[in-house]
Chains A and B, each alone.
Chain A
Amino acid sequence: MTTRLKTTLDPNLYTQIGLDSGSLTMLGTIAHPLGEAGEYRGALHLGADVKAVFFITADSNSPIAQATVDLAGLEKAQSGSSASEGEESCGCADGSKEGPSGKKYTVNPRGYVLFHLQSGQGGYYVHLRRIDAAENDKGYDTRTLKNGDAFTAMILRPGTYSIKNVAGKGAAQVVVHYPKVGDKPYVPPAPVRIECTANGFDTKGKLELGVGQGLVFHARTDSRIEIKLEKADDGPARTDRGRSGFRKHQLA
């Protein structure tokens, strides 16, 4: 008699090893403060393609401190719509019902917009720009974290990783330890916070993390964080693992 766990596990959680703040996947998020009140238009990019557009109202009267934007959900919702026609085609959207529409978010300008993926392969970056921005204002691009941004990373694959700020200074090494089954359920410890300054990371040397423990990079200067697996840790050899086939469980 066998039974199966019908899990909600997305394979992208364990097949995508390594992270890049300029190419968001399920294990990474970016929190970005808008700073100024106004209307913003966001474009979700996958490579050169615009996969979706969305609008953010930064309203000083709004009590909302966090607008959570699920990038995978945006793409899913707008796939097949005219969103992919490109930035230029719908940058003019004035909220009229006839124009290309995107999901709308509201947040206090002192709050943050959180870009993340609830599911899927990802690889996105976001371009955000005030609707009334001057022509030469390029707006904000998540590929370059700005002062005040936070990039979070969660690492599930045990091993040794290198961390680098490829847009500035800063390098470190992280060791993610292999999980051990203990007497009590394992709960990932509190996240480790790293400041990305013009002089590099405020944390030097080797960091030690548990599986699923968070890393938060607080950008104080232009940054792009890349996390690469250097050496995997596969834990103890388990020859008994894999398909168990039919097994009769008998009462003793």
Chain B
Amino acid sequence: MSHITIAASSKAFVQLFNKIRDNFTFSKSDSGNFGPFSASYSVAMHLEDGTIQLNNDDTVEVKHLKIVWDTLKVQVCFNLPGFCIGGWCIIPDPWNGCLVGVPKICIGGPICVPLDLSGLVSEVNDLKANLNPVYFVDPARTAGESDLDAEFAGHPNKWRIFFDPVFVHVDPIDIPASVANIIENIVRDAIESMFPVLPGFIVDALLAAIGPILDLVKGILGIVGEINDWLTDLLMNTFDLLGIIETAIADYFAAKTPIYEFEDPYPILDAGPGLIPVKIPIRNLASHVNSQEMIVTADVG
């Protein structure tokens, strides 16, 4: 029989969880070269909502936890082939094709398409966790420092209870199909504003040579299906953003931010005039859940 038993109702547990959920932020940027194109991204996100269920098998399950992408910027750069003149034959060789040809002059160049998809929302579809108590020795505590000195210095040891995920499953971002129109408009704008003085006939020749812009972009990037699906795949799988976020969420809950923590020794009475605080050492702390509540047990001594 444990000396101490503390319980928090499922409602109280939800409040505890919401507090650490709201403190979660994540940001990252990366870039890569993929042959015919290069891409980079910059993301920042936080978590919202979610439904929490305490289970009798000592697990907590969180569903429909929203990932709000405060920043989701992607840039894809590629070489726009544009329009080539020349390259044809002046003096044909009746036996071997061409004897003398005109060198090619190409109008085109590198283009970068920046996409700002900030504000999109995706979901941590399923997160299952156990509670894991971890004893924390404050690294600021010096050797030989007593519990009392550590308390006065503001770095006492602690028991920390972490929400330790068994698995985290994040759904891919659902990028709307309308991103294709944005890409088309950006490429067209880029061509039309190449030079403020560029004559309209060159712009129109370039647009005519390119043909349907989306077909061209898809051809260059090697997209077979829809552009939005390709973009999702680029971010989630090629850059492995899905795995990176799942790991970041798991790491945050499992090791960075405890759902609750107790000082050790635990203060029973505060210091008074001429009196030092009364503290009791806590040992063998354990934490469990059932469908009704979270239960923390510990021994004194």
Name A residues whose Cβ lies closer than 8 Å to a Cβ of B.
1-11, 13-14, 26-27, 29, 31, 65-66, 68, 111-112, 114, 116, 118, 150, 152, 154, 156-158, 178-188, 190-191, 211-212, 214, 216, 233-235, 238, 241-244, 247, 249-252
Contact = CB atoms under 8 A, between A and B. Distances in A.
A243 B193 contact: yes
A118 B103 contact: yes
B179 to A, nearest CB: 6
Contacts of A183: 211-212
Interface stretch (B16-24, B83-91, B234-242, B287-295): B83-91
B79 to A, nearest CB: 10
Given A65-B100, A150-B90, A1 B114 contact: yes
Interface in B84-139: 85-86, 88, 90-91, 93, 99-103, 105-117, 120
Contact of B190 (A5, A182, A184): A5
Contact of B211 (A111, A184, A211, A249): A184
Nearest to A30: B90
Nearest to B201: A158
A249 B180 CA distance: 11
B208 to A, nearest CB: 4
B146 to A, nearest CB: 60
A181 B192 contact: no
6 smallest CB-CB distances across A and B, nearest first, come from A185-B211, A252-B178, A179-B208, A186-B208, A7-B109, A212-B85
Contacts, number: 175
Interface in B53-88: 80, 82-83, 85-86, 88
B117 A4 contact: no
Interface of B: 80, 82-83, 85-86, 88, 90-91, 93, 99-103, 105-117, 120, 176, 178-179, 181-182, 185-186, 189-196, 198-205, 207-212, 216
Contacts of A249: 115-116, 182, 185-186
Contacts of A211: 201, 205, 208
